[in-house]
Structure 1
């Protein structure tokens, strides 16, 4: 059994893939966002009830047929006690260490997984944050990994982040990744990293991310982590296959009933089991102006053209900026996979227009979750907006399952 902690957990996308391996035991999850912590708690409850073969109370709750109080009343307190809702900072670090120490007892910590907030490193983020770069503490959140590694000497850690980390320079003008590698080397860890595309691992989405894996230098390992990871490549389904069992809904509407029993091998494998109920298939409302634009953008997409904002009829243009961010409306294609789901989807759905013209809307929470590789049994607290944000920030669980598999193979 490998004892691990999940830092900067979010709703638990990275956690989800590791849960499916009995060789890992979670000591704790650390996350500052309250809604994400609520989702983590609920997922803990799901796995507890599944283990005792009594999922009915869970399904009743996520369908709105039962209260949260009633659900929690039948679950032992310790089931949700591993979640620490706290920002990782200099002022909280000692409290976090105490929390981990109490939960570990005399046992050793074997691994750390997580992904610090990536806005500072992303190409768009660094442009937006240029003025406050000198005071942006998010740039150095990786240093808390150094603190955890110095204290607990785990065998390994996994650090997921955006492609922009490869080229990001810190306030001294130095490539940050080079600095990260040197600092971990100085405390006894070898670093390996690679830019991967989740599309290669069965996730129905083009999503490039940097995976950094560190391991203690004293470990005698005969394999490369990424050699192990690439044993798990898999073809991704197109969106037609991914969405096929979901009912048609209009903007602002929702549905709680599948169209029919699932027929897709992929959906059966990763997304939907026979006992699942449909939840959070809810689409945000749109004004008439946006709905007219959606039709134009989707029709252009079907002709093989990407409609830019300044191509839209002048009477539909409501933004004064017509020189930048011209791809602010983007349609999905049934015959392909999605482009990257990001947290901005919580603000509007213009970048994720549903491929079915008859539905004329942006994608629902459940559709976004499926694109990100979350199973239908996963419920996101506590509103549509927070659900979208949690999904956009998550590591796809399908990928995290394969990362976990590769870690076990690598450390064998």
Structure 2
């Protein structure tokens, strides 16, 4: 049986990557960001070329020997057209439905996956967002998600968002999450969904990152399945960041080095991250000014002793911001002997919160290192710039976590007698 899936609010494809398997078929990705759509098209192209033993074409693109346009000339339009570059809104939904219907061709949709943009629910900047709450359409993007559930009536759905949604209050002052859950449960009165939710910490499931996110899972009543109870079986101990980066080259700020080191990768990297058939790419670090590099060295050195340096702790000559009593943790080093703190989209603006654990390297992490923390394979390429790549990585569901989520669903719902 083939499990057909629609991927909404796809971003750079972390959730999608995990749901790729011999048993699944991604019918469509719906995403508004053009850079992320290029990434999705490229990833679909990678799998097409790999299947047809033409991976050298993909490798030629990674090594800048052919252009993106030239690469796409080798890919059927049916593959490229899986990516629908549209903002999901009242205006565009009929167009998106029509597009998806052509791809489905009477096939049953078993699953809908996705995570609507989460900025409206985040506890960070909530005071500022409160001022524009009356006009913030992002609050109700989940209602568009529900329209897809009504239209395609899948067996299951999974929605990912920030844990701030648990405490977020609607315009009437009441918590929004119970309303969302109730709406999901009452979509179809003749064939209702059983809906549950839970905060999942990725680090408990073998991901080298302490990342807590809210997952809402729903499935049709006739499936005897408890997603979150079954998911406990997928718990695993994650590698440390130092282990994760072990086979990557030593670099300085502002450097590009797409060559693996001579050090052998750890088993986790060999199994989930590194692929010998493709070259390393996007291992590029940001350039920094002298002041930032001095701060990086202080912060990374203190981290080795288990200390987090606040901005107010820095020597006065290094304090360039007037507001010294707010954003005190604006500089933060990753703990190399444990898991990383959460990688978020802010990494696209600067790397101050993601200083490399190796003091000698004295820099923020590269695009590739950030991707590894999110468990993207090294052969995963993010379009269209360093900034866009960081943003897609920061917004993504860790791909290995998504793979475990997919396995949990396939094993629990579709392997039953």
TM-score normalised by L of structure 2: 0.96
Match 1:321 to one of 317, 320, 323: 323
CA distance in 2, matches of 1:13, 1:262: 26
CA distance in 2, matches of 1:28, 1:227: 29
Question: Structure 1, residues 29-54: CA drift from partner, whole Å, max 9, x if none?
Answer: 00000000000000000000110112
1:257-276 mapped onto 2 (5 Å cutoff): 257-260=259-262, 262-276=264-278
1:208 pairs with 2:212: yes
1:163-178 mapped onto 2 (5 Å cutoff): 163-178=163-178
CA distance in 2, matches of 1:46, 1:200: 30
Question: Structure 1, residues 150-185: CA drift from partner, whole Å, max 9, x if none?
Answer: 111111100011111111111111111100111112
CA distance in 2, matches of 1:238, 1:127: 35
> Secondary structure, in 3 states, of the residue corresponding to 2:124?
helix
Kept in 1, the 8 Å contact 2:155–2:219? The answer is: yes
CA distance in 1, matches of 2:305, 2:26: 49
Match 2:310 to one of 303, 308, 311: 308
What's 1:287 paired with? Answer: 289
> Secondary structure, in 3 states, of the residue corresponding to 1:112?
strand
> Secondary structure, in 3 states, of the residue corresponding to 1:256?
coil
Kept in 2, the 8 Å contact 1:161–1:209? The answer is: yes
What's 2:19 paired with? Answer: 18
Question: Structure 1, residues 302-321: CA drift from partner, whole Å, max 9, x if none?
Answer: 22211100111111111111
> Secondary structure, in 3 states, of the residue corresponding to 2:350?
coil
CA distance in 2, matches of 1:242, 1:396: 14
TM-score normalised by L of structure 1: 0.97
Kept in 1, the 8 Å contact 2:246–2:263? The answer is: no
Q: CA deviation at 1:223?
A: 2.8
What's 1:59 paired with? Answer: 59
1:235 pairs with 2:264: no
Q: Which runs of 5 or more residues in structure 2 are unaligned?
A: none
CA distance in 2, matches of 1:127, 1:7: 28
Once the two structures are overlaid, the 10-residue window that deviates more, 40-49 or 222-231, is 222-231
Q: Which runs of 5 or more residues in structure 1 are unaligned?
A: none
CA distance in 1, matches of 2:40, 2:104: 20
Kept in 1, the 8 Å contact 2:31–2:84? The answer is: yes
What's 2:137 paired with? Answer: 137
What's 2:195 paired with? Answer: 191
Question: Structure 1, residues 247-295: CA drift from partner, whole Å, max 9, x if none?
Answer: 0111110101100263311001110022231110000111111001111
> Secondary structure, in 3 states, of the residue corresponding to 1:310?
helix
What's 1:254 paired with? Answer: 256
> Secondary structure, in 3 states, of the residue corresponding to 1:373?
coil
Aligned length: 409
Q: CA deviation at 1:127?
A: 2.5
> Secondary structure, in 3 states, of the residue corresponding to 1:141?
helix
> Secondary structure, in 3 states, of the residue corresponding to 2:132?
helix
Match 1:380 to one of 357, 360, 382: 382
1:383-394 mapped onto 2 (5 Å cutoff): 383-394=385-396
> Secondary structure, in 3 states, of the residue corresponding to 1:354?
coil
CA RMSD of aligned residues (A): 1.1
> Secondary structure, in 3 states, of the residue corresponding to 2:195?
strand
CA distance in 2, matches of 1:333, 1:376: 22
CA distance in 1, matches of 2:412, 2:176: 26
- Extract structure 1 runs of 4+ deviating beyond 6 A: none
Kept in 2, the 8 Å contact 1:123–1:164? The answer is: yes
CA distance in 2, matches of 1:402, 1:295: 37
CA distance in 1, matches of 2:376, 2:363: 21
Kept in 2, the 8 Å contact 1:343–1:390? The answer is: yes
Question: Structure 1, residues 347-404: CA drift from partner, whole Å, max 9, x if none?
Answer: 0000000011111100000000000110000000110000000000001000000000
